[in-house]
Structure 1
Amino acid sequence: MGRLKNAERQHYVQAYVPGTEEPGEEWLELAKYISTIGDDTQEGTEEEGFYDGDGTAEVTVTSVAQAYTPEGYYDPTDEAQELIAGLKYKVGDGRKIWHRVVRSDGKKEWVGRATVTAIVAGGGDAIAYETFSCNIRFDQIPEETDLPVVPEG
């Protein structure tokens, strides 16, 4: 298959209702006027050396917080952008959403509750279109699912 374009990876969002353990069926695709989505994953690590080795420190990954940073132009008629924009003045559970990422080849997806930070829904130079950006960070390692392969043709 070779290389795949980033635009083939799909990002979806959904409102989170506090106390729910599973997302609903209806997802909003976060794609319209989004020109880039960065990977802002953060890893926690520890280094330790042991006497049964040569003293060289070994790195152990202790936590992974997968995060994405979509950026583009703000469209208040786009439901996914408006869901996120509506969280700007909320705190705590008010900043939670469900996030779903489908790999560019369509064979895997990751779903989990996430927290949205650094929301920008409008802003920029007077002659430019309004900008949109945020950080969507999974609250824990998302659930990975293999998706059924759809035969071509």
Structure 2
Amino acid sequence: MGRKKNALTEYYVGAMPTDGMSEPEYFRLAKWVSTVTDDSEEETEDQGFYDGDGTPETDVISVKKTYTFEGFYDEDDPAMKFIAGLEFETGEARKIMFKQVRTNGDTLEGKATVSEIKVTGGEATEYATFECTIAWDKKPTITKATTGA
């Protein structure tokens, strides 16, 4: 299919369902967001084995998918307002549902934690800043895109 612009990747945030059964109400995090950075971390370990030639192999022990969002704050945008409402919360109150729809149509969805929330500050001549970091708490549920019949 070729190259596709980053803006075609969609990100959604929503509150954790209180009953554990219902679907979350998602808000698209896009308006005035100019940059999304993949700040994911991987923990690795190198070990050599006798069934090889002694050259260490790298094993990936864990993966933490994390995204940092940057742009301008708009208090009328539902997604930004939702994130801003968590600014002074801690612990479980920072847990949300996070969904990413990739350009190929695959959907990744799961429980996540929001941190590094910034909705004020900057130069006097600039618009209010918006920044947050969202990290899945575990491997998200991945739903592959379905192709036409």
Shift in Å, 1:56? 1.5
Shift in Å, 1:25? 4.8
Evaluate the alpha carbon distance shift between residue 66 and residue 96 of structure 1 in structure 2; reply closer, same or farther with a 3 A threshold. Answer: same
Task: Find the aligned partners of 1:148 and 1:53 in 2 and give their Cα distance.
Answer: 40
Task: Find the aligned partners of 1:150 and 1:127 in 2 and give their Cα distance.
Answer: 49
1:67 aligns with 2:66: yes
1:144 aligns with 2:142: yes
Evaluate the alpha carbon distance shift between residue 147 and residue 52 of structure 1 in structure 2; reply closer, same or farther with a 3 A threshold. Answer: closer
SS in 1 for 2:76: coil
Please report the TM-score for the alignment, with normalisation by the length of structure 2. 0.93
Evaluate the alpha carbon distance shift between residue 122 and residue 150 of structure 1 in structure 2; reply closer, same or farther with a 3 A threshold. Answer: farther
- How many residue pairs align between the two structures? 149
Shift in Å, 1:89? 0.8
User: Of the candidates 109, 121, 125, which is equivalent to residue 123 of structure 1?
Assistant: 121
Evaluate the alpha carbon distance shift between residue 92 and residue 25 of structure 1 in structure 2; reply closer, same or farther with a 3 A threshold. Answer: closer
Amino acid of the residue matched to residue 110 of structure 2?
Answer: G
Amino acid of the residue matched to residue 16 of structure 1?
Answer: M
SS in 2 for 1:89: coil
Aligned equivalent of 2:28: 29
Shift in Å, 1:122? 1.4
Paired residues of 1:118 and 1:133 also in contact (CA < 8 A): yes
Paired residues of 1:98 and 1:111 also in contact (CA < 8 A): yes
Task: Find the aligned partners of 1:81 and 1:124 in 2 and give their Cα distance.
Answer: 17
Please report the TM-score for the alignment, with normalisation by the length of structure 1. 0.90
Deviations 1:65-120 (A, max 9, x none): 11111110001111101111111111111111100000113x21000000011111
